[in-house]
Amino acid sequence: MPFGLGPRICVGQHLAITELKVILSLILSKFCFSLSPAYQHSPAYNLLTEPEHDVILRMRSL
């Protein structure tokens, strides 16, 4: 609970989260992502559909 809880909850939390999304988008836009050749497509049907063997991404600077 980084923003606290109850009557004194952080009034700036929505602004802070929006700012973080903008910053993260700007950082991610400087990179290119692709699947590793080691990736095996094997969806596991649990409560959520999840990759059975993880998703290994290759990240390249643009």
Which one of 2-10, 27-35, 37-45, 46-54 is the stretch in contact with ligand HEM (CB under 6 A)?
Answer: 2-10
| Residue closest to ligand HEM when measured from CB atoms | 12
Asked if 53 and 42 count as a contact pair (C-beta separation under 8 A), the reply is: yes
9 CB contacts (<8 Å, ≥6 apart)?
3
The reply to whether 22 sits near ligand HEM by the rule CB under 6 A is no
Closer of 15 and 44 to ligand HEM (Cβ) = 15
For residues 31, 34, 38, 42, the Cα torsion angle rounded to the nearest 10 degrees is: 130
The reply to whether 38 sits near ligand HEM by the rule CB under 6 A is no
